[in-house]
């Protein structure tokens, strides 16, 4: 029984990790508290639904279109809001408030066009796979496989390519990065595209399993932020550690108590981390924290 | 006419809420995302006192303010130890834990169904207020007192220390001010006023449920504050006016209800982005968030 809960938690944790990396890509490099990510998450889900259910495309091309569109929306937020604010020397908190505004705009535009009710994409029932007494449904298997592939791809890009090196350099010290002759703005374009795409991957994988509604974004994003903080801030790979720990923890909460206390336990753990170990499980100790 | 009075009462409640948020955000530069939690604590505790005891309103208001203020120490404790984004996320955590408790502790809070039949406010323990007119007068008086309080606070010694903390906390500390203590009292007062707004809302509406006190409400209060402006009294009042009047204007234009609800949210979001770009202190505000 407990094995089942751990497996469920692992799979949720993989999705949290992807979303947390999508958030951390923007947060670590630009220092903007990117709340609009919740809006992008919802946008990607609705685009996926639009192309898969309304226009009847197969799931794979529909999700690819959704990922591309979400990347573009993410880029639009950078070009239309964050970059102009940065050019005006606006403080990070001001950017964050603008980001909240963006989130409100995107989510409500989705409601306006597609309505408020919950929608489903995959209504077919496939016989679940069972290993001993552990049962994995087909969407869960899809989440696990594609999620792990996405995570491995990200870690590879981060560790072994020039772009990953630039990314780490930008998140370590922006002014040094500029002094050495690299173009911050060009790197930021890539960062926002990648962030939007990762958020969309997490979104599509989730909504393929559980369906979508316009108010889901903020809750999922906050969980991802908690995952990022628990794992360790200032780095990217630690998001995976945090995401999987959080997923398993939440799943065990359901096993031990009930699912309606999940949020409370998550935030008690967050507060414990913030007070006792603010750098997270594997983060660097930062002086500003 | 009663409809107009209803809007004015809601406006008064929002003026109190936005002003209370301004005390911590605008004057002490501590970005909190849990004003709706204090609003909710005030509403639920106020309901408890109104149902259980037959006390004059002044006593109930005082008790609710003190108890709600005491809860604020949880947040001010965090503000001493956490900076910037970590503090924001901690207050969000506080807000979400509060909502979860409200939603799931069914025996006490009524869970998702909320509490029905909240009794009216008894002015001197005997005369129970009812009807829009009497609440209109009561809310106008309370709001006038709150506005007067915050207006004078800015130039009081307390307000000037908060201003110094906002400008440069290290310097205020070096000048021998116990900044942690001043911040705690700012939170206390801010939570107390939000709690007061909660009691008025609960007894006026005679029904409360957790959905009025969730994170979206905190974000809503925050939007009102930042659109109107931070750091003085007229900014928050304008912000409250803006968010309360816009839905009525949309209704006046004759949009169908389903579109109007989202359109007004989009207007808030858009105003927030535009205000942050063109005038980061807000339309009538004085200080810029650091």
User: A285 pLDDT band (50/70/90 cuts)?
Assistant: low
B255 touches chain A (CB under 8 A): no
By percentage, how much of chain A surpasses pLDDT 90?
66
Q: What CA–CA distance (Å, rounded) separates B240 from B151?
A: 16
Chain A residues touching B276 at Cβ < 8 A: 85, 90, 94-95, 97-98, 101
Q: Is residue B258 part of a domain?
A: no
Q: Is residue B286 part of a domain?
A: no
Q: What CA–CA distance (Å, rounded) separates B213 from B82?
A: 24
Minimum-distance CB partner of B97 among A218, A260, A268: A268
Tokens, residue B256: 């169908």
A272 touches chain B (CB under 8 A): no
Q: What is the mean pLDDT of residues B125-151?
A: 87
Nearest to B204 by CA among B1, B28, B5, B55: B5
Which of A101, A215, A228 to probe the B interface (max B CBs under 10 A)? A101
Chain B residues touching A105 at Cβ < 8 A: 266, 269-270, 273
The predicted pLDDT at position A235 comes to: 85
- Compute the mean pLDDT over every residue in chain A, rounded to the nearest whole number: 91
Decide if B265 and A108 are in contact by the 8 Å CB cutoff: yes
Chain A residues touching B167 at Cβ < 8 A: none
Nearest to A114 by CA among A206, A199, A43: A43
Residue B80 CA, chain-centre distance (Å), reads 22
Q: Looking at per-residue confidence, does B121 or B188 come out higher?
A: B188
| Stretch (H or E) spanning B208 | strand B207-208
- Weakest-pLDDT range from A33-42, A81-90, A165-174, B128-137: B128-137
- Kindly report the nearest CA distance between residue A224 and chain B, in angstroms: 12
User: A261 pLDDT band (50/70/90 cuts)?
Assistant: confident
Residue pLDDT, tens place only, B11-22: 999 999 999 999
- Kindly report the nearest CA distance between residue A188 and chain B, in angstroms: 20
Pairing state between β B115-116 and A129-131: unpaired
Q: How many CB atoms lie within 10 A of CB A132?
A: 7
By percentage, how much of chain A surpasses pLDDT 70?
98
Beta strands in chain A (DSSP E): 129-131, 134-136
Only one residue has tokens 């995976």, namely: A240
User: B133 pLDDT band (50/70/90 cuts)?
Assistant: confident
Minimum-distance CB partner of B82 among A95, A108, A274: A274
Q: Is residue B71 part of a domain?
A: yes
ipTM (interface predicted TM): 0.91
- Weakest-pLDDT range from A92-101, A223-232, B255-264: B255-264
Chain B residues touching A225 at Cβ < 8 A: 89
Q: What is the mean pLDDT of residues A30-39?
A: 94
Res. B128: pLDDT tops 80 = no
Res. A277: pLDDT tops 90 = no
- Mind listing the domains of chain A with CATH numbers? 2-117+137-276 (1.10.3470)
> What is the number of alpha carbons within 13 Å of residue A287 lying toward its C-beta?
0
The predicted pLDDT at position A289 comes to: 40
Q: Which domain holds residue B181?
A: 2-212
The predicted pLDDT at position B286 comes to: 87
- Phi/psi for A2 (5° steps) reads -70, -30
Res. B50: pLDDT tops 50 = yes
Q: What CA–CA distance (Å, rounded) separates B10 from B3?
A: 11
Decide if A101 and B223 are in contact by the 8 Å CB cutoff: yes
The predicted pLDDT at position B118 comes to: 84
Q: What CA–CA distance (Å, rounded) separates A283 from B13?
A: 43
Q: What is the mean pLDDT of residues B93-99?
A: 91
Q: What CA–CA distance (Å, rounded) separates A273 from A262?
A: 17
Q: Is residue B228 part of a domain?
A: no
User: A274 pLDDT band (50/70/90 cuts)?
Assistant: confident
Q: Is residue B120 part of a domain?
A: yes
Chain B residues touching A102 at Cβ < 8 A: 269, 273
Minimum-distance CB partner of B269 among A90, A105, A267: A105
The predicted pLDDT at position B45 comes to: 94
The predicted pLDDT at position A260 comes to: 83
Q: What is the mean pLDDT of residues A16-32?
A: 94
Res. B243: pLDDT tops 60 = yes
The predicted pLDDT at position A122 comes to: 75
DSSP track, B169-238:
HHHHHHTT--HHHHHHHHHHHHHHHHHHHHHHHHHHHSEE-GGGGSHHHHHHHHHHHHHH-SSSSHHHHH
Decide if B90 and A278 are in contact by the 8 Å CB cutoff: no
Task: Check the CA dihedral A259-B222-B277-A107 and report its sign.
Answer: positive
Decide if A222 and B96 are in contact by the 8 Å CB cutoff: yes
The predicted pLDDT at position A286 comes to: 60
DSSP track, A64-106:
HHHHHHHHHHHHHHIIIIIHHHHHTT--HHHHHHHHHHHHHHH
Res. A287: pLDDT tops 70 = no
Decide if B97 and A263 are in contact by the 8 Å CB cutoff: yes
Q: What is the mean pLDDT of residues B29-41?
A: 93
Q: What CA–CA distance (Å, rounded) separates A74 from A236?
A: 19
For B250, left (φ over 0), alpha (ψ -120 to 50), or beta?
Answer: alpha
Only one residue has tokens 């937020």, namely: A77
Minimum-distance CB partner of B97 among A92, A260, A267: A267
pTM of the model: 0.93
User: B3 pLDDT band (50/70/90 cuts)?
Assistant: confident
Q: Is residue B255 part of a domain?
A: no
Res. A288: pLDDT tops 60 = no
Tokens, residue A41: 């998450």
Strand, helix or coil at B116? strand
- Phi/psi for B144 (5° steps) reads -60, -40
- Compute the mean pLDDT over every residue in chain B, rounded to the nearest whole number: 90
Q: Would you say B94 and B74 are in contact if contact means Cβ atoms under 8 Å apart?
A: yes
Q: What is the mean pLDDT of residues A87-104?
A: 93
B106 to chain A: closest CA residue:
A260
Q: What CA–CA distance (Å, rounded) separates A268 from A273?
A: 9
Res. A13: pLDDT tops 90 = yes
Q: What is the mean pLDDT of residues A251-259?
A: 88
B84 touches chain A (CB under 8 A): yes
Tokens, residue A156: 């590879």
Count of domains for chain B: 1
How many A×B Cβ pairs under 8 Å?
129
- Surface of A (185-244) touching B: CB under 8 A: 218, 222, 225-226, 229
DSSP-derived letter for residue B128 is B
Decide if A88 and B31 are in contact by the 8 Å CB cutoff: no
Q: Is residue B150 part of a domain?
A: yes
Q: Looking at per-residue confidence, does A233 or B191 come out higher?
A: B191
Decide if A93 and B100 are in contact by the 8 Å CB cutoff: no
The predicted pLDDT at position B253 comes to: 83
């Amino acid at each position: 029984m407990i094995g089942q809960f751990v497996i469920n938690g692992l799979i949720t944790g993989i999705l949290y990790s992807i979303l947390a990396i999508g958030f951390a890509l923007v947060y670590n490099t630009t220092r903007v508290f990117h709340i609009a990510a919740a809006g992008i998450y919802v946008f990607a889900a609705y685009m996926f639904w639009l192309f898969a259910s309304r226009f009847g495309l197969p799931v794979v091309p529909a999700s690819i279109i959704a990922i591309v569109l979400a990347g573009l929306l993410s880029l639009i937020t950078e070009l239309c809001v964050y970059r102009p604010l940065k050019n005006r020397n606006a403080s990070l908190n001001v950017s964050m408030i603008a980001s909240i505004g963006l989130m409100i705009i995107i989510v409500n535009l989705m409601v306006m066009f597609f309505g408020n009710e919950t929608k489903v994409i995959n209504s077919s029932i496939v016989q679940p796979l069972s290993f001993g007494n552990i049962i994995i449904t087909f969407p869960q298997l899809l989440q696990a496989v594609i999620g792990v592939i996405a995570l491995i791809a990200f870690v590879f890009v981060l560790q072994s390519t020039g772009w990953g090196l630039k990314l780490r350099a930008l998140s370590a010290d922006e002014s040094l990065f500029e002094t050495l002759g690299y173009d911050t703005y060009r790197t930021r374009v890539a960062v926002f595209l990648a962030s939007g795409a990762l958020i969309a991957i997490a979104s599509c994988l989730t909504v393929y399993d559980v369906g979508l509604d316009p108010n889901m974004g903020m809750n999922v994003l906050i969980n991802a932020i908690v995952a990022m903080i628990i794992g360790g801030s200032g780095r990217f790979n630690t998001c995976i550690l945090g995401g999987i720990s959080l997923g398993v923890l939440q799943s065990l909460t359901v096993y031990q108590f009930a699912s309606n206390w999940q949020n409370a336990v998550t935030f008690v753990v967050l507060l414990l981390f913030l007070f006792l170990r603010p750098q997270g499980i594997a983060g660097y100790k930062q002086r500003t924290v | 006419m009663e409809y107009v009075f209803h809007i004015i009462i809601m406006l008064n409640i929002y003026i109190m809420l936005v002003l209370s948020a301004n005390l911590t955000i605008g004057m002490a530069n501590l970005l909190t995302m849990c004003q709706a939690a204090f609003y909710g604590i005030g509403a639920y505790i106020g309901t408890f006192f109104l149902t259980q005891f037959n006390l004059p309103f002044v006593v109930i208001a005082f008790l609710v303010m003190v108890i709600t203020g005491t809860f604020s120490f949880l947040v001010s404790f965090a503000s001493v130890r956490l900076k910037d984004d970590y503090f924001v996320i901690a207050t969000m955590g506080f807000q979400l834990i509060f909502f979860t408790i409200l939603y799931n502790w069914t025996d006490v809070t009524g869970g998702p169904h909320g509490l029905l039949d909240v009794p009216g406010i008894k002015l001197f323990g005997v005369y129970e207020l009812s009807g829009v007119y009497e609440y209109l007068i009561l809310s106008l008086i309370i709001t006038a007192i709150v506005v007067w309080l915050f207006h004078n606070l800015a130039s009081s010694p307390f307000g000037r220390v908060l201003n110094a903390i906002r400008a440069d906390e290290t310097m205020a500390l070096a000048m021998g001010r116990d900044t942690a203590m001043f911040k705690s009292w700012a939170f206390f007062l801010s939570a107390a006023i939000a709690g007061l707004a909660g009691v008025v809302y609960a007894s006026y509406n005679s029904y409360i449920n957790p959905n009025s006190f969730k994170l979206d409400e905190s974000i809503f209060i925050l939007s009102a504050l930042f659109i109107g402006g931070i750091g003085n009294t007229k900014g928050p009042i304008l912000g409250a006016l803006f968010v309360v009047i816009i839905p009525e204007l949309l209704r006046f234009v004759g949009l169908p209800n389903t579109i109007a609800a989202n359109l007004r949210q989009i207007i808030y979001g858009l105003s927030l982005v535009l205000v942050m770009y063109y005038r980061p202190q807000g339309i009538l505000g004085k200080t810029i968030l650091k």
